[in-house]
Amino acid sequence: MNSKKPLVLILCGGRSLRLWPLSQYKSKNFLDVFGFSPLELTIKRFLKITSRENIFLVANQNEKKELLRLKSVKKTNIIFEPASRNTAAAILLSLLKLEKYSSGNIIISPVDHLISKENEFYKALNQALLAADRGFVCTLGVKPKQPTPNFGYIQVKPAKHGIYPIKRFIEKPNLKRAKRLIAAGNCFYNSGIFIASLNTLIGEYKKYYSGYNFFLNSFKKNKISALYKKIDNIPFDRAIMEKTKKGALARANFSWKDFGSWDTVYQVLPKDKAANAVKAKVFLPESHNNLVYSDNPKKKILVMGLKDVFFIDTEGFTLLAARSQIDNLKKYLGQF
């Protein structure tokens, strides 16, 4: 363990319904739609600022076989949740396991960020690490370019020493409210990346997380596996960040997309002259703005005269949807 460099905890995702039907076979950690998996990309990003021995994963037991095959992370650095209980529990479980290694800073990151301008990412991260040295629980905030209901927002107070004290979190507002927030000028997109010292984070859990004592006692008695399902199923933002008086934001000038939907896949993949994004053997006469994906490299697909359509083909399932309807995928899968 390199105590001079920060620890990194990567929150591994599960099977995303918004990437169905491909997610029927793999979790989004390992979906290599772009020629690399989100997990590989995230590990590679943090290896530029810390050592391999300082990178940890927290994941669901369902991913155990695939994760243990990874060469880029030590097997002993993979923490498996006894059950899926959202990010507040996953992070606390990890902190209790990691505090024996270090009391220094830790970066907590989702697995599914596709980040552009990585140099700007590292600049913001360095600023946040300096804030963590001063006892803040810091997050990276990106100035909104346009209103969207797909991100959470963070309202801030005036900056002090380059860091913005957090006023409040707003979880994925509707479009009308998002427009008002941006017009106010004091808000950022919530990147979901958090930076603090382990001691600070554990202290904030003691203050604000109602299940902390139950969790700690179960952990010390080695009964956490049996009792884990009784722990509050809430996100870290709500459990800690919305309550802490130490919340701060470092402004980041990178942009990112969450690898969590077919619309993101369409945006990221290269396009032909007709704005079609293709990962298949396909011919698209008189067709525009489509996404065509197949996991069978030998299958030939003909798409004629279609516009704004997503066609996703796998061995067992096929999705055909208007792009305007793709955000309703989870809803319709419940009726499928």
Question: pLDDT by residue for the chain (336 residues), tens digit each?
Answer: 556 799 999 999 777 888 999 988 888 888 888 888 899 999 999 999 999 999 999 998 888 888 999 989 999 999 999 988 899 999 999 999 998 877 799 999 999 898 988 999 999 999 999 999 999 999 999 988 888 777 889 999 999 888 999 999 988 888 888 888 888 888 999 999 999 999 999 999 999 998 888 888 888 888 888 888 888 889 999 999 999 999 999 999 988 888 888 999 999 999 999 999 999 999 999 999 999 999 999 999 999 999 999 999 999 999 999 999 998 998 899 887
CA atoms of 191 and 40, how far apart (whole Å): 19
Residue range(s) occupied by CATH 3.90.550.10 in the chain: 7-258
Q: How buried is residue 256: exposed, middle or buried, by Cβ count under 10 Å (0-12/13-18/19+)?
A: buried
CA atoms of 113 and 247, how far apart (whole Å): 22
Token pair, residue 250, equals 């470092």
Q: What count of other Cβ atoms lies within 10 Å of the Cβ of residue 2?
A: 13
CA atoms of 55 and 107, how far apart (whole Å): 10
- DSSP letter (8 states) at residue 13: -
pLDDT in the model for residue 2: 52
Instruction: For residue 317, give the nearest of 100, 16, 25 by alpha carbon.
Output: 25
The pTM assigned to this predicted structure is: 0.91
Angle among Cα 90, 113, 44 to the nearest 5 degrees reads 90
Query: Residue 280, SS3?
Result: coil
Contact predicate 113/142, CB 8 Å: no
Instruction: For residue 7, give the nearest of 42, 64, 54, 63 by alpha carbon.
Output: 54
Contact predicate 56/2, CB 8 Å: no
Query: Residue 37, SS3?
Result: coil
Q: How buried is residue 101: exposed, middle or buried, by Cβ count under 10 Å (0-12/13-18/19+)?
A: middle
Name, in order, each residue with C-beta under 8 angstroms of 66's C-beta and a sequence gap of 6 or more: 26, 27, 29, 30
Q: Which CATH class is domain 7-258?
A: alpha beta
Bridge partners (DSSP) of residue 107 are: 8, 195
Q: How far is CA 28 from the centre of its chain?
A: 10
Contact predicate 137/187, CB 8 Å: no
